Amino acid sequence: MRRTIRFRLNGEAVEAQVAPHETLVEVLQDAFGLFGARESCGQGLCGCCTAVVNGRAVSGCLYLATFAEGGEVSTIENGSRLDAVQEAFIECAGLQCGFCTPGFVLMTRQLLEEHPEPDDDTIRHYLSGNLCRCAAYPQIIEAVKLAARKMRQT
């Protein structure tokens, strides 16, 4: 049942034994000890399980790990220092319990790549697939705008 897949994870070549039904989140957690992508709703609706595959954010609780074969997977754990988005989330209090935060950070990076100067409406729509039950939404909007300013300055 299990087979070996090879892919790049946060810049390093890796391999894992995966079963066909196993999701990317399960493999990240069980094979690599990476817990920043986490399952919550299990339906791809909340964004807590977000990981980036070949440059696009995916719902890791629905994305079968086997599809990552030969690809480039990046998670919230990638990188050794905080980027502008992470700094802005901290400075604007764009997080409370933190469970949804990695998903928001990853989606915000993708948002800012596509819209370097987003207005409120763009932010709301782009991030509408990520849920925060603590409802830090107003602070997240501020964080996204601050991150955009920080990125323009550097």
Partner 1 sequence: MKRALSPAETPQVGRSLPRLESWLKVTGRAEYVHNLRLPGMLYGRIFRSSVAHGRIRRLDVSAAQAVGGVHRVVSAADLTEIVPDPYYGPAFHDQPVLAVDKVRYVGEPVAVVLAADPHVAEEAAHLIVAEYEELPAVYDELEAMTSKAIVHDALKPAGTFPDLKHLKGRIGTNVALDFHLRRGDAAQALAAADRVFEHRFRTQQVMHTPLEPLVSVAESTDSSLTIHTASQSPSFVRIEVARLLGWPENRIRVRVPFLGGGFGAKLYIKLEALVAVLSLLTRRAVKISLTMEEQFFTITKHASSFRIKSGVTRDGRISARECEVWWNGGAYADIGPRVTQKSGFTAAGPYDIEHVAIDSYALYTNLPPAGALRGFGIPQLVWAYECHTDMMARELGIDPIEFRRRNLLRDGRPQATGTVMRDAAIEKVLDRLAVLLEWNRPFDRGTGVLRRGRGIAIGFKACVSPTTSLAAVNVNGDGSCIVYCSTVDMGQGSDTAMAQIAGEVLNLPAESVRVVHSDTDVTPYDMATLGSRSLFHMGNAVKLAAEDALKKLNQLKSELQMPPDTAIPEIFKKKYGMQAGNVVGTGSFIPSYAPPDYATGLTSDATPFWMVGGSGVEIEVDTETGRVRVARLVNVADVGTPINPKIVETQLSGAAIMQLGFTLFEKMLFDDQGQLRNASLAEYRIPGFLDVPEEIINEAVSAEQRSGPFGAKGVGETGTFGVSPAIANALDDAVGVRLTSLPLNPEAVYQALAK
* Interacting residues with partner 1 (CB under 8 A): 21, 29-30, 34-38, 40-43, 45-46, 48, 75-77, 82, 86, 89-91, 93, 95-102, 105, 120, 123-125, 127-128, 130-139
Task: Give the residue with the Cβ less far from partner 1, 3 or 133.
Answer: 133
Q: CB of 63: closest distance to partner 1 in angstroms?
A: 16
Residue 92 in contact with residue 146, Cβ under 8 Å?
yes
Task: Give the residue with the Cβ less far from partner 1, 132 or 148.
Answer: 132
Residues whose CB falls within 8 Å of the CB of residue 49, separated by 6 or more in sequence, listed in order? 23, 24, 25, 37, 38, 39, 40, 59, 60, 61, 62, 103
Q: CB of 34: closest distance to partner 1 in angstroms?
A: 8
The helix/strand/coil state of 42 is coil
The helix/strand/coil state of 145 is helix
Query: 17 pairs with which residues across the strands?
Result: 4
Q: CB of 145: closest distance to partner 1 in angstroms?
A: 14
Q: CB of 77: closest distance to partner 1 in angstroms?
A: 6
Nearest alpha carbon to residue 107 among 90, 84, 123: 123
